Structure 1
Amino acid sequence: MGGDAVFTGTVMDVRRVAGVISVDDYRAQVTELLGRRPAVSVPVQDCAGLVLAEDVTASVSLPPFDNSAMDGYAVRSDEVAGASEDAPVQLRVGEDIPAGRVDVPPLPPGTAHRIMTGAPMPDGADAVVMVERTDGGRDTVRVYAESASGTHVRRAGEDVARGTVALTAGTVCGPAQLGLASAVGRDTLAVHTPPRVLVVSTGTELVLPPEPLEHGQIYESNSIMLAAALRSLGCTVTTVRSVADDVDSFRAAIEPALPDVDLVVTSGGVSAGAYEVVKDTLTGAGVTFTKVAMQPGGPQGHGTWDGVPVVTLPGNPVSVLVSFEAFLRPAILSSLGHDDVDRTRVRARLLETLSSPSGKRQFRRGFYSRTDGDVTGVVGPRGGPGSHLLAAFTQANCLIVLGEDVTEAAQGSEVDVLLF
């Protein structure tokens, strides 16, 4: 890793290693780079999954008026007091009040109005008798059960009062939230919208399927993975695949797109070897390259290019996905206003012993399961620690996290697990 490491027993103090930054510090830097997306007014029907940037104040009460909770008859409760199967009360039926009627007449004494669910209560009525507790009469009705004042009546404002906050800023807009927003009179909402992202994969060795491979070439996959991961967060994604390891080619492929995107994410070209095209192009242009104390995914970079935030990831596919989980996913969710940006973290017992390099936080692909009555559950690795073992990732449902101070986690010991 370079530099003078400081050890305490088997523990390396990663903060003292020259040129190396901790996972948590680097995540904070990427999160700060992306910041908070601006508030945009969006039609309510297009806000699913987005986060409110402002409080939603009710312009009407819910319900807006007293209304019936049942199909039945609006009555004066004192006029049906004591009604029973053996001693029914008979009332004249005055009016029909369907839902949506706006010219509701008051209820004269000695009468009942036939009323439908959701219809406004007439003045003078203070209760509803369900139609099932009557003979269903159209001219006169026999009532077989008393109905106390307020029975089957939805009171105005009992759900939300006009002028109060119906939804607070920071709320994730799900079906219920969007329904409530519309119900209190909103047709647009101020929300944080996902960024437009340009995904760039670099490497002269990369070929696009189904072109035949020559010896030394591989099929490009990083842009496919990153685009899918970003779209799962709602991002609009454009990809530039297989840019050659040449600075002029890289600039020509990327610079024309910069005015139309909010974020650039690259893969490859950031390590310490020759032909590191991303590093060669962006060093000194606003992007800082560093090593993060993690495995896989150590070489990283972030900054701005012509005012556009840029996050540069390593080239190996597992490093790409782990880096997305460790840095990009939480940073983007934070930029969208989410308070909870982390994967669910649980503890689990290891099914086999794992080793980890001292001073690095290791992320291993794993499969977690828990049976009824099992408090912690169990987890086993899928594949080795190599950053090229992509097939093992398809068999995983979690990441096993071994801390910087762990060099060996014994079978049966408990470890942290991040669930996908």
Structure 2
Amino acid sequence: MPQGRSTQPDVRMRGFSHRAPVETVWQWLEETARPLPGETLHPREAHRRILAEEVTAPESVPPFPRSAMDGYALRGSETVGAGAYNPLSFRLVGQSMPGAAHDQPLPPGAAVRIMTGAPVPEGADAVLPAEYAQEVGERVEVTNAIPPWKHVGQIGEDIQEGEVLLRPGRKLRPQDLGLLASVGRTSVTVVARPRVRILVTGNELVPSDQPRGNAQIYDANTDMLAALVERDGGTVEGTYRVGDDADVITEHFTEGSPDVLIVTGGSSVGAEDHAPRVLSEAGELAFHGVAMRPSAPTGMGRLGADTLAFLLPGNPVSCLAGYDFFAGRAVRRLGGRPSHWPHPTVSATLARKISSEIGRMDYCRVALGDEGVEPLALSGASILSSTTRADGFVIIPADSEGYAPGTAVTVHLYEPGD
């Protein structure tokens, strides 16, 4: 496994002599990217964050016996024999309302008017629904028998004191936040969100809100990468267009310490592809060149002890694939999420063959049609519209020459999973 300063050669204008297998790079990421420390938030701010602690209940819920109906609290054994033609009469001695309990023990032969959620008074063990009773002056006539503990929510019926409610690694959902509030939690520890810096190289690129020159194109990668980082639980600390100036690239490599640095463009073997050399001089270039299509020129490594750096190709589809294969795995893992693909999957049958090459993993964009899975593109790294026309992608492993028509394949859907 690569250690210390890189021994990767400068491949500009020479080409790659070796490309690392995707699985080797994944293994390096598993060993290198560790979940970040926790931070403490109010539960209201923790939606969709990853829990970093075990949460146990400090008290039972409900903390007192409570009524599950609007009606009358009484002793169930005293209602035996009650019926429409044999009403039994109970003395009405008060009422219990949510937030305003009847705080006196219930004497024999008595009842308390009670509302749903209100505490059941001491001595009562059942709640008779209102439709089976009628108040007459200071008494209530009961026309139905009810067994003890009917319509009474017991202490701890929902949650027992000391019970483990939530475990580390859970993505907090709205109902989880409600559960935390129900036991009085005002803080929760979650994994910190990875801070990601995005550098966009290329003198030809301009932002979409500025005029474009004759030899220029609009930058698609910044907005795409920022959305991908957000999807994976990271936060973009800044986006910078740095052109093809090696000195400016170096400044951004050496200033501050984001958790993840993503560079798009300038990662291949051209004369202006400075990022691999800068990374190897400023830190460690662990890999440069991966046995995959698209995104073969991807590189990655480390800056100091705290920053993972990813060098992604500038062509948009290669950038998307390189992010999902590598940078996204790191962002997810640093943030405490599973590192595997975040996409929902479906199994479907190929309508047409997909050809591949032994020794290289392929990322094939596909559409789901009436006749099955239609391959759209294996090549065409600059054709971003192929990803918007696609429903998802199929991965062809490096030990396969592709898939024949009629083969059942796993389609990773572009629609984000939850």
TM-score computed with the length of structure 1 as normaliser: 0.88
CA distance 1:340–1:93, shift in 2 (3 Å): farther
Q: Which moved more, 1:184-193 or 1:95-104?
A: 95-104
Deviations 1:328-371 (A, max 9, x none): 3333222222347433344321122222233211111112368x
* Aligned with residue 389 of structure 1, among 383, 399, 409: 383
Q: Distance in 1 between matches of 2:135 and 2:267?
A: 79
1:20-61 CA-to-partner distances (Å, cap 9, x unmatched) read: 222222123234333111111111111111121111111110
How far apart are residue 381 of structure 1 and its match? Answer: 2.3
Q: Does 1:380 align with 2:374?
A: yes
- Alpha-carbon RMSD across the aligned residues, in angstroms, is 2.2
Task: State the alpha-carbon separation in 1 of the partners of residues 356 and 340 from structure 2.
Answer: 26
Alignment-mate amino acid for residue 351 of structure 1: A
Contact 2:366 2:373 (8 Å CA) reproduced: yes
Q: Is the 8 A contact 2:348 2:409 kept in 1?
A: yes
Residue 403 of structure 2 is aligned to residue 409 of structure 1: yes
The equivalent residue for 2:37 is: 38
Alignment partners' CA distance in 1, 2:66 and 2:103: 11
Query: Relative to 1, partners in 2 of residues 1:137 and 1:410: Cα closer, same or farther, differing over 3 Å?
Result: farther
Hey, what does 2:263 align to over in structure 1?
A: 266
TM superposition shift of 1:165:
1.5
AA aligned opposite 1:355: S
Q: SS where residue 124 of structure 1 aligns? A: coil
Q: Does the Cα contact within 8 Å between 2:95 and 2:101 map onto a contact in 1?
A: no
The alpha carbon displacement at 1:227 in A equals: 0.4
Question: Where do 1:205-284 residues align within 5 Å?
Answer: 205-253=204-252, 255-256=254-255, 258-259=256-257, 261-284=258-281
**CA-CA distance at 1:100 after TM superposition:** 1.0
* Contact 1:365 1:400 (8 Å CA) reproduced: yes
Distance 1:146 1:178, change over 3 A: same
Q: Which residue matches 1:14?
A: none
Task: Evaluate the alpha carbon distance shift between residue 325 and residue 136 of structure 1 in structure 2; reply closer, same or farther with a 3 A threshold.
Answer: farther
Is 1:62 paired with 2:56? no
Task: Summarize deviations over 1:39-95 as a string: whole Å, max 9, x none.
Answer: 111111111111211111111101111111111110101111122222222212111
Establish whether residue 354 from structure 1 lines up as the match of residue 351 from structure 2: no
| 4+ residue runs over 4 A deviation | none
2:115 aligned residue:
116
Which residue number corresponds to residue 176 of structure 2? 177
Helix, strand or coil: the match of 2:366? strand
Matches of 1:137 and 1:356 in 2, distance apart? Answer: 86
Answer with 220-229 or 166-175: which moved more: 166-175
Shift in CA distance, 413/164, structure 1 to aligned 2, threshold 3 Å: closer
**Counterparts of 1:193 and 1:89, CA distance in 2:** 63
Residues 415 and 249 of structure 1: CA distance in aligned 2, closer, same or farther (over 3 Å):
same
8 Å CA contact 1:31–1:332 kept in 2: the answer is no
**Equivalent residue pairs, number:** 396
* Whole-angstrom CA distance in 2 between matches of 1:183 and 1:313: 46
SS at match of 2:149: coil
In 2, Cα distance between equivalents of 1:333 and 1:214: 37
**Whole-Å Cα distance in 2 between the matches of residues 34 and 121 of structure 1?**
54
Structure 1: distance between partners of 2:284 and 2:140: 81
Residues of 2 paired with 1:88 and 1:402: CA distance?
77
Task: Map 1:7-406 onto structure 2 (within 5 A).
Answer: 19-102=18-101, 104-135=103-134, 139-253=138-252, 255-256=254-255, 258-259=256-257, 261-288=258-285, 289-307=287-305, 308-339=307-338, 341-342=340-341, 343-368=343-368, 378-383=372-377, 385-406=379-400
Q: 1:405 to 1:204 in 2, by over 3 A?
A: same
Letter in 2 for 1:270: S
Partner Cα separation in structure 2 for residue 164 and residue 60 of structure 1: 9
Structure 1 pair 39–366 and aligned structure 2 pair: CA distance change class (3 A): same
Contact 1:402 1:416 in 2 (8 A): no
Provide TM-score, normalisation by structure 2: 0.89
Report the residue type matching 1:348 in the other structure.
Answer: A
Q: Which amino acid aligns with 1:393?
A: T
Check 1:285–1:301 CA distance in 2 against 1; reply closer, same or farther (3 A cut): same
- The letter of the residue matching 1:407 is E
Residue 211 to residue 53, structure 1, CA distance change in 2 (3 Å):
closer
Identity %: 35
Between the aligned partners of 2:209 and 2:27, the Cα distance in structure 1 is: 40
Rounded Cα–Cα distance in structure 2 between residues aligned with 1:187 and 1:82: 49
